[in-house]
Chain A
């Protein structure tokens, strides 16, 4: 096909229009957010256009260290649990009949797209005293009386893992579907059991995939916003919660922007590592 350049300027319109919209409504707001992070806060949603580093100096504080521990502690725990469940699941999924795959993909996509407020509500209900699993445990005689398990750190991790599993599966599924089935077949022909094949052939082969998926779940979990408020206690609030709290409740947009810039840098570092890993994979 003729893939030369458009002959005249009108030919570039399909490119220029969307590009202008994206620049105006994403690049400009994003840039102005970075700029605001250097402004002086006056309170009440107002700020003065004096460049200074005060908002970033506030990042060296026990408040911020607490936020970091809450955000990354949660993200690491969730990423570890999710990948232990999602990797074997995705491996089995790509090897199952097509109709099974489609049903699971619909289910996973649906859970991934569901509002955090709905999932948070569902988990707070199933962990509640009146409608929760504890009633089942009482019925089975494992518990004396119904108990409430939410809010708490366990409830928060369970809820976020619940949303992270579909995400991990949808990252792993296309990668695992491209794996050459002959490698496993060869191992099986040589008499290796399916379980052993999984541990000594599939897992080592997919080491990079596992690392990059782990990092992607980390980024995904850093974005969780409602779950810490519904299923956690204030000490479990993450960077995402703190950013919107500073912007809307404390009306301190410059400090919210500084926190957001920090979150962007961390995210880009993680994504950059993922891309590097991907390159190494392609090169080898």
Chain B
């Protein structure tokens, strides 16, 4: 059997197995009545409307989007100068600071979550809504840090050199040459952090779980306290949103390269 045939069979089986749980949720989300049955009985899109109509669900959705947007922006704001400085001056010990930025994502999330829980308690800010933005921003800083380091690393050094020879200083070179070239990496770093924050449960739960409910928390709570079809429509909505964002990243950037692959 040729490699292509093996590939087709293997990929088809895996695609089926990996999409099955999501397809069942999709089926359940269009049930006519408020029951967990598959194949769906009847067809009804009202659970999707409920996601936006019911204040507790739309509130949770809005919370998640706001937190994700702000913390992704914070993560990029921390990562960009750091990655730029590391690329521009190549000083050995700067790598140590980069390593701190990679730590939160390498360790199990519960470590960062517990660290923040005790930190916000000790500083007296526990329960303030904004603490989740800082917590997520730090937790996710690794993502833009990795994508931006890749971006700066892929720059052709002769371009800023030429600009410097012609009298441009750091600021001008950054604005007119470097930034336009690394923009795709800034956007993808932001997108990665945004999507992960949107879906993150544990850090958000342990920092602001008592005062804010994000969508992943809402889904988990509904799972514990009784089934409602809205949790299925909310899940489908999040899966779609996640796939769309990554598709856009792939559309406007080189996804294999962003993930560190070398083309053969």
Contact = CB atoms under 8 A, between A and B. Distances in A.
Interface residues on B, range: 35 or more
A106 B250 contact: yes
Sort A-B residue pairs by CB-CB distance and give the 3 closest, nearest first: A131-B38, A223-B108, A174-B260
A5 B256 contact: no
Among B2, B35, B206, which residue has the most Cβ atoms of chain A within 10 A? B206
Contacts, number: 271
A244 B82 contact: no
Given A113-B246, A125-B232, A174-B262, 15 more contacts: A19-B82, A26-B138, A29-B115, A89-B11, A110-B239, A114-B239, A121-B25, A121-B232, A126-B21, A128-B36, A225-B202, A244-B110, A253-B118, A253-B121, A257-B118
Nearest to B159: A1
Contacts of B141: 22
A149 B14 CA distance: 21
Contact of A15 (B2, B94, B231): B94
Contacts of B97: 15, 18-19, 22
B14 A85 contact: yes
Interface of B: 1-3, 6-7, 10-11, 14-15, 18, 20-22, 24-25, 27-28, 35-39, 78-79, 81-82, 84-85, 88-91, 94, 97, 100-101, 103-104, 106-119, 121-122, 134-135, 138, 141, 157, 160-161, 164, 170, 192, 195-196, 198-202, 205-206, 209, 215-217, 219-220, 223, 231-232, 235, 238-239, 242-243, 246-247, 250, 255-256, 259-264
Given A3-B88, A130-B37, A135-B38, A114 B81 contact: no
Interface residues of A, number: 94
A113 to B, nearest CB: 5
Interface of A: 1-6, 11, 13-15, 17-19, 21-23, 25-30, 32-33, 36, 45, 85, 88-89, 92, 94-96, 98, 100-102, 104-107, 109-111, 113-126, 128, 130-133, 135, 162, 165, 170, 173-174, 177-178, 181, 194-195, 219, 222-223, 225-226, 230, 239-240, 243-244, 247-248, 253, 256-257, 260, 263-264, 267, 271
A137 to B, nearest CB: 13
Contacts of A33: 111, 114-115, 118
B235 A122 contact: yes
Nearest to A241: B110
B179 to A, nearest CB: 13
Given A14-B85, A243-B114, A244-B113, A130 B35 contact: yes
Given A1-B160, A230-B223, A244 B24 contact: no
